[in-house]
Chains A and B, each alone.
Chain A
Amino acid sequence: SQQGEEDPQALSIQEGENATMNCSYKTSINNLQWYRQNSGRGLVHLILIRSNEREKHSGRLRVTLDTSKKSSSLLITASRAADTASYFCATDAIVAADSWGKLQFGAGTQVVVTP
Chain B
Amino acid sequence: NAGVTQTPKFQVLKTGQSMTLQCAQDMNHNSMYWYRQDPGMGLRLIYYSASEGTTDKGEVPNGYNVSRLNKREFSLRLESAAPSQTSVYFCASSEVRGQGHGYTFGSGTRLTVV
Chain A residues within 8 Å of B, Cβ to Cβ: 2, 4, 30-31, 33, 35, 40-45, 48, 50, 88, 90, 92, 98, 100-108
Contacts and interface: CB of A to CB of B under 8 A. Distances in A.
B102 A106 contact: no
10 contacts: A35-B103, A43-B43, A43-B90, A43-B92, A44-B105, A48-B101, A101-B101, A102-B45, A102-B48, A107-B40
Nearest to B48: A102
A33 B45 contact: no
Interface string B1-17: 00010000000000000
Nearest to A2: B42
Contacts of A92: 100
B97 A100 contact: yes
B98 A107 contact: no
Interface in B62-104: 90, 92, 94, 96-104
A39 B45 CA distance: 20
Contacts of A41: 107-108
A101 B94 contact: yes
Contacts, number: 67
Nearest to B6: A42
Nearest to A3: B42
Chain A contact residues: helix, strand, loop or mixed: strand
A92 to B, nearest CB: 7
Interface string B29-42: 00101010000111
B61 interface: no
B42 A45 contact: no
A101 B98 contact: yes
B107 A45 contact: no
Contacts of B40: 107
Contacts of A40: 108
B35, B42, B45 pick with most chain A CB within 10 angstroms: B42
Nearest to B9: A40
Nearest 4 pairs of A and B residues by beta carbon: A100-B98, A45-B102, A101-B97, A42-B105
B105 to A, nearest CB: 4
